[in-house]
Structure 1
Amino acid sequence: MKINDATILIVDDNDGTRRLLRMLLRDLGVREVIACACVEDGLKALHGNTVDLIFTDWEMIGETGMELADSVRRADHERISRIPIIMMTAYGEEWRVKAARDAGITDFMLKPFSPVQIEAKLRTALLNVREFVNTDSYRGPDRRRGQRAYDGPDRRAANGDDTTTTQQQLADASGTLDRLRSDFERFLCEAGTMIAAELRSASSHPSEARACFERIFQLAHNLKGQGSTFGYPLVTEIADELCRFLRARTAPGERDLALVAGYASALDTVSRNRITGDGGQIGQRIIDRLRGFAAA
């Protein structure tokens, strides 16, 4: 099918990532994009719309992208069970790739992603039809990536592809990515101040500390999702460590407030110095120090 005829579903609990991917897909000519913040809403969208492709994040609060994939592949409705699924993640360990493949994922997209990469994933998933395997132990596209004939109805193969993504569309998408990266950098710059304000509130009003920590957790979760997307994987690691720390603190005390301030300081360091990538030795020292906080 033509890319500009496709309906794409995004399932990601990060507002910034949903916004980015939705805008990039539209810049690339996708006709309709549906964005959902959780697996439950994503499954409802699948039953209410004719979706051609799913982009989902691996790690989400609540049900994960892997659980979404399992629900899709086990769906009674054949149209839904065969929908291509592209799994997005900041982590490319071999075990993740294998687990995603075994769960029936069509393709894997590592962050940060570019318009060219997204366009290539769209073409591969929508135009290169792989035989669908349905056995007791596995449901999904043939894990051997060879092209095979398929006699059943499939919207992806119905019309062929007589359109080409133009250089202007790719340029528009690249411009969108640059603008949203600037928005993220401003958000990162403000994050330390926002955390500091929550910590002052928690210190002044101990009864509200739990609520303050929950807001800091949500902020950290958003940073975690967007950091790698915009080329700041060290931010993702710091925010991930902060989320882990906060999950383990059910009754925050003064010492916990001081330790959270250390995470905020680490984010400030990355922001002030524009540390992209993993930060090398400096980045590793920061992560080692923060992991020491969690173990304390």
Structure 2
Amino acid sequence: MDNAVRRAVIVEDSPQMRELIRMVLGSLGFQKIVQASNGAEALDALQAEHTDLIIMDWMMEVMDGLECTRRIRGGVNGIDPAVPIVLLTGNKGKESEASAYNAGVSVYLEKPFSIKQLHSGVMKALGLNGVGVS
């Protein structure tokens, strides 16, 4: 990736999963990583400043990942509706995947996923397939 400061928002209700994702994003050159435990917190964080990537869990209390994605794609509160969103979920199957893409996610990853799969999903969401890690 380039030398620009990259900002990501991790939206995940599990602190352990947030830390794992944070480490992967750090290895990919993201310097500013904000964490939220639900969709409502994510919308607040996204209004604060430009974000290059969102890693979003689907199943969360307060506001789930699909509702948060729909609001982002709707351009709520000045948030960039085109920001790439990688959705992480324990939901399995083509129906769940279709629901996620219909809501506007960029990349759909089923849990459990490997670090390599997360890395690939982030690169795909950013349009950087085949580009090496910085």
Shorter-chain TM-score: what band? 0.7 to 0.9
1:6 Cα offset (Å): 2.3
| Cα contact 1:3–1:123 (8 A) shared by 2 | no
Letter in 2 for 1:65: G
The structure that is strand-richer by fraction is 2
**Paired residue for 1:125?**
125
CA separation of 1:4 and 1:89: change in aligned 2, threshold 3 A = farther
1:53 Cα offset (Å): 1.0
1:84 and 1:21 map into 2 onto residues whose CA distance is 16
The structure that is helix-richer by fraction is 1
Structure 1: 5+ residue stretches without partners: 129-160, 167-296
1:94 Cα offset (Å): 1.2
2:108 equivalent to 1:108:
yes
2:13 equivalent to 1:16:
no
CA separation of 1:88 and 1:4: change in aligned 2, threshold 3 A = farther
| Cα contact 2:24–2:115 (8 A) shared by 1 | yes
Tell me the alpha carbon deviations over residues 6-49 of structure 1, each in whole angstroms, 9 at most, x when there is no partner: 21111111111111111221133322211111212110111102
2:122 equivalent to 1:164:
no
After superposition, residues 1-296 of structure 1 pair within 5 angstroms as: 2=2, 5-76=5-76, 80-127=80-127, 164-165=132-133
Letter in 2 for 1:9: V
1:39 and 1:47 map into 2 onto residues whose CA distance is 12
CA separation of 1:77 and 1:3: change in aligned 2, threshold 3 A = farther
CA separation of 1:45 and 1:79: change in aligned 2, threshold 3 A = closer
Percent identity over the alignment? 27
RMSD: 2.3
Q: Work out the number of aligned pairs and report it.
A: 133
1:76 Cα offset (Å): 4.8
| Cα contact 2:55–2:86 (8 A) shared by 1 | yes
Structure 2: 5+ residue stretches without partners: none
Query: Partner of 2:126: helix, strand, or coil?
Result: helix
Query: Partner of 1:113: helix, strand, or coil?
Result: coil
- With normalisation by structure 2, the TM-score equals 0.86
1:92 Cα offset (Å): 2.0
Tell me the alpha carbon deviations over residues 36-84 of structure 1, each in whole angstroms, 9 at most, x when there is no partner: 1121211011110210111111101221001100110111567611111
| Cα contact 1:11–1:36 (8 A) shared by 2 | yes
**Paired residue for 1:249?**
none
| Cα contact 1:55–1:85 (8 A) shared by 2 | yes
Letter in 2 for 1:50: H
Bigger-Rg structure (1/2): 1
- With normalisation by structure 1, the TM-score equals 0.41
CA separation of 1:60 and 1:79: change in aligned 2, threshold 3 A = closer
